[in-house]
Amino acid sequence: MKKKLIILGGNPETGVLVDVANSMGIHTIVIDPNPDAPAKKYAAETYDIDGFDIDGIVNVARENNVDGVLVGVADILVKPYQEICEKLNMPCYANKKTIEAFCSKDGYKKYCREYNVQDIPGIYLTKDSEIKAPENISLPLMVKPVDSGGGVGMKICRDEEDYIATVKNVFKFSKKGVVLVEKYMDAAVDDIAVYYTFKDGVPYLSATYDRYLTRLQGDSSPIAIGTVYPSTYTDLFVKEIHPKLCEMFKGLDIQTGVLNVQFFVENNVFYSYDPGFRLQGEAPHIHLAHINGFDHRKMLINYALTGVFGEDNFSEQNDYMLRGKIACSIWVLLKSGKIETIEGLEEMKSHKNVHFVVERFKAGDTVKEEFVGTERQVLYRIYTAADSIFEINQTIEDIKSSLKITDPNGNDMVIEWLKPWNTDDYIFD
């Protein structure tokens, strides 16, 4: 008899998780308030229930004799996931401390201070606060809700009038009613991320990667259009920051799970921000499965059903330098409007260095104006890997020349293509 698994959330990235569970012979139940949520079309069964309706989801689990519960690619659902699992006495990789630390920007700043991890200078505002620019941080400023992800509600403010209006508007994106105002890290600053696996209480650094952001969208949040693995900052990170994070992980009693943490790097100083204690939209796990042979999606699904996370040989499989290979994710971001035609998709998918593609839209769909400046404007995430940075750069050019996306007027809808990486930076000993 098939085991039954509830998966919380219905976005396209969670749809890939549902697909993997289906391939493992599991009866998948997707819960999301949107009846047309993309992940639902892959599921054996669906419910139109809000992810925060703890009792409603617990009832569904009990009525269906469900064997496990798992959160998808959605930060805001990690907290209800933990509460649901607690009520059902089922395996859960999150605990109350990790939720406080990694599921809200204010909680993360608190733990960064405690463990001497540098974060981005900033202040908090509540609806009762006097809205004025921080005295110790100069314009421009980044304004964002403390408890949302994917760029939702974030905006760069370059003058005080815009700043005051933006803060008032951004409150509506925060369930807590708290807004974070930070120093805006501009294009001169490098952007990297690190990705950890926790198995049996041991933190393993599984990947490091550099991010290239598009800043062609006015004052909306910059969005990644490409990543490359390993990061040029890997050695410095391992020496300077990794030991501090490991102390934090120990203090938070993390036993199991996956964690992504982003950093700005300026003059070799790391400024930590935006942790994600869950599978990521960027999906480093796709590269890790392809190169290192372990799949975080399968590991998390098995954990939800059995309480066992990963194989006994995980420490031998794990290699954050990716066995000498270079991996690259190419994000295709679209301008707002209707997608009339998509050319070159099958050619791109059949490229020898492309090993996976996440598809979020198809011809005939509309990219809404409110998607711009968030990860909802992503058409494809294209996963590539090769033996050298030179081969990766050629792959980027090949994909750029094969793909063409146009609106009804024949205009190109791609905001900006990823440029080839600087080869000198990615030749590792």
Per-residue pLDDT of the chain in tens (429 residues, 90 and over written 9): 899 999 999 998 899 999 999 999 999 999 999 999 999 998 999 999 999 999 999 999 999 999 999 999 998 999 999 999 999 999 999 999 999 999 887 899 899 999 999 998 888 898 888 887 788 888 899 999 988 776 778 888 988 889 999 999 999 888 888 898 998 887 668 999 999 999 999 999 999 999 998 876 666 667 889 999 999 999 999 999 999 999 999 999 999 999 999 999 999 999 998 899 999 989 999 999 999 999 999 999 999 999 999 999 999 999 999 999 999 999 999 999 999 999 999 999 999 999 999 999 999 999 999 898 888 899 999 999 999 999 999 999 999 999 999 999 999 999 999 999 999 999 987
Greatest CA span in the chain, whole angstroms? Answer: 63
Cα–Cα distance between 290 and 263 in angstroms, integer?
25
Beta strands 122-126 and 178-183 are antiparallel
Domain residue ranges of the chain, discontinuous segments joined by + = 4-92, 121-183, 190-425
For the residues of 389-410, what is the DSSP string, one character each? HHHHHHHHHHHHHH-EEE-TTS
Sign of the Cα pseudo-torsion (298, 304, 305, 310, in order): positive
Crossing angle of helices 78-88 and 54-63, rounded to 10°: 50
- Tokens representing 173 are 């994106």
Residue 2, SS3? Answer: coil
What is residue 96's DSSP assignment?
A: H
CATH 3.30.1490.20 matches 121-183: yes
Cα–Cα distance between 180 and 11 in angstroms, integer?
26
Cα–Cα distance between 195 and 245 in angstroms, integer?
12
Cα–Cα distance between 31 and 49 in angstroms, integer?
6
- Residues contacting 313, CB < 8 A, separation 6+: none
pTM (predicted TM-score): 0.89
- CA dihedral 157→126→118→265, nearest 10 degrees, is -20
Residue 315 sits at φ, ψ, to 5 deg, of -60, -30
Q: Which CATH superfamily is domain 190-425 in?
A: ATP-grasp fold, B domain (3.30.470.20)
Q: What is the CATH number of domain 4-92?
A: 3.40.50.20
